[in-house]
Amino acid sequence: MSRHSVQKFVRLGHDIEIIKDCRTLPGQLHPEGWPTFEVRYGLIFDGQLTNWSDVVRAADDERTALRMADLGRRRALRLGPRAAGTGCSGTPCGDPAAPTGGENGTESSDQPAAG
C-alpha cells in the first residue's frame, strides 16, 4: 500500500490536504498481464482525515482528486474563516512571526502545492 499527498492548500485559514491511497490487489491481473491497482483519495481537513472517496479506476483518478479538493473548499466556505488561535498549522498560535499556512511560510489560497 502506498499513501502520499497530491495537493495541499489553505482556504479561509483551514488547512486542506488531498491524499492518494494506492494498493496492488494480490492475485488479480489486468487482462494484459500487469497488476490491478485499487486507488482512492482522502480529504484531510485541519489535520483530521474526514472523507474517503470510493475506489476508482486509474482513468477516473484526476476527477476524483478534484472532487475531494472541491469538497474541502466547500467545507471551508461553510465553516467560514478559522478563528485565531485554533490550529495555526503546527506553529505557536498568535505568534506574529509564525507562517500563515502555505508552503515555506507563504499563504497559498487555492493553488496546489508545488511538487
Q: How much is the pTM?
A: 0.59
d(CA 105, CA 29): 44
Residue 61, SS3 per DSSP:
helix
What pLDDT score does 87 carry? 53
Question: Do 14 and 102 touch, CB atoms closer than 8 A?
Answer: no
User: With 0-12 CB in 10 A as exposed, 13-18 as middle and 19+ as buried, what is 15?
Assistant: buried
Of 53, 52, 42, which Cα lies nearest the Cα of 17? 42
Alpha helices per DSSP H over the chain:
61-79
What does each of the 115 residues of the chain score in pLDDT, given as a tens digit?
Answer: 789 999 999 999 999 999 999 888 777 776 777 777 888 999 999 999 999 999 887 666 788 889 999 999 999 999 999 876 555 444 333 333 333 333 333 333 444 444 3
